[in-house]
């Protein structure tokens, strides 16, 4: 039978040695913990699934003694919990602390289990080094908010305006900002970029679930409301407002806005686009072809505009093997 020490050693000598999900209550985590590790209390796990690693990535789990085998929910939903340790195991913390794997000091921040977009993580140091002072970012199509919360957590110079058309994504981004203690520098807006290039801001009512008190006609009117020009849209948003130091649009394609984005950047600011691409070497079904970039579409577009310089233009793969065209541009005039 494999011993506790054997399992700890196996994990700590694996490529996943930095990935540990601690499901214990927050107050217990504050007293003692493995370093590094991420605390998501078990009763919050379902709501915070967007903070977990990709499902094909193995990681370690610490189960609370009050809920043994609670990691089974993760396994049942496809995550790879390769090393499971229960707080009730004899000598767990004696071994963890004695072998230098843990600490009794309070954590100073949150260690991410997930990875942000490689386009962002690979170039953020150069971006930050090239700009003096406070930094402003716009994320269009923010999804569940992982990229921008990671950005805010790593450097307190940033303020972020995040936009998504899906109310569920807006709420997830707000919740993640609160969990990571960065919500004071984060503004999240529910809005849609329309096919005609106008921007449609959703009312507070449209953020409610369909089973709540909102008339069906009101919802239809909200969906069909005319948008407003990009300048007017950003003028009514709370800070941060244009011009931005960085604009992100990751796996979100609205062609109608692409020509507008340089106008929202400061001179010297950066535009990071990473989107699925229709490439002859890859055969995949989702997203459909009309929602993919063509090869060189982004570089050709921005070179025709004339105020942007291409810093990076690559085709790489996401976790499941589908191709994305990742382009980093800088506004030069």
Domain end marker among 103, 130, 147 = 103
CATH number where 93 lies: 3.40.250.10
Spatial distance between the Cα atoms of 104 and 33, rounded to a whole number of angstroms: 7
Handedness of CA 16, 21, 22, 26 (dihedral sign): positive
The pLDDT score that the predictor gives to residue 205 is 42
- On whether both 87 and 161 belong to a single domain, the answer is no
**pTM, rounded to two decimals:** 0.89
Say what the pLDDT of residue 222 is: 58
For the domain that residue 251 is a member of, what is the CATH number?
3.40.50.150
Q: What DSSP character marks residue 202? A: P
Within-domain flag for 222? yes
Do 167 and 292 fall into the same domain?
A: yes
- Please tell me whether residues 272 and 126 are part of one structural domain: yes
Per the structure, the complete domain to which residue 263 belongs is given by: 118-331
Q: What is the mean pLDDT of each run of 10 residues along the chain (333 residues)?
A: 88 96 96 95 95 95 92 96 92 92 89 96 98 97 98 97 96 96 97 95 55 56 76 94 98 96 98 97 95 96 96 95 98 96
Hey, what's the torsion of the CAs at 124, 127, 129, 132, to 10 degrees?
A: -130
> Number of structural domains, the chain?
2
Residue 110 is assigned to a structural domain of this protein? no
């Amino acid at each position: 039978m494999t011993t506790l020490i054997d399992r700890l050693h196996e994990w700590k000598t694996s490529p996943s040695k930095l990935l540990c999900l601690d499901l214990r209550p927050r107050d217990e985590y504050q007293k003692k913990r493995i370093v590094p590790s991420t605390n998501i209390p078990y009763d919050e796990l379902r709501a915070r699934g967007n903070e977990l690693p990709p499902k094909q990535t193995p990681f370690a789990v610490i189960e609370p003694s009050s809920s043994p085998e609670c990691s089974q929910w993760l396994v049942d939903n496809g995550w790879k919990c390769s090393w499971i340790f229960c707080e009730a195991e004899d000598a767990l913390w004696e071994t963890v602390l004695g072998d230098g794997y843990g600490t009794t000091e309070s954590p100073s921040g949150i260690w991410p289990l997930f990875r942000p977009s490689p386009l962002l993580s690979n170039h953020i140091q150069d971006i930050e080094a090239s700009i003096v002072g406070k930094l402003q970012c716009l994320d269009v199509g923010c999804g569940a908010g992982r990229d921008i919360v990671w950005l805010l957590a790593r450097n307190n110079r940033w303020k972020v305006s995040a936009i998504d058309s899906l109310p569920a994504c807006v709420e997830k981004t707000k919740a993640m900002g609160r969990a990571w203690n960065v919500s004071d520098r984060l503004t999240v807006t529910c809005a849609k970029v329309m096919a005609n290039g106008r921007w449609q801001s959703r009312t507070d009512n449209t953020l409610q679930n369909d089973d709540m008190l909102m008339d069906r006609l009101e919802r239809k009117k909200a969906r069909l409301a005319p948008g407003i020009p990009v300048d007017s849209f950003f003028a009514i948003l709370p800070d941060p407002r244009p011009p931005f130091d960085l604009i992100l649009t990751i796996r979100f394609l609205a062609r109608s806005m692409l020509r507008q984005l340089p106008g929202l950047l400061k001179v010297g600011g950066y535009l990071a686009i990473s989107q699925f691409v229709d490439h002859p070497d890859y055969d995949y079904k989702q997203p459909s072809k009309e929602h993919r970039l063509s090869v060189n579409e982004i570089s050709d577009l921005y070179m025709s505009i004339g105020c942007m310089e291409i810093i990076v233009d690559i085709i790489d793969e996401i976790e499941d093997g589908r191709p994305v065209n990742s382009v980093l541009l800088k506004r030069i005039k």
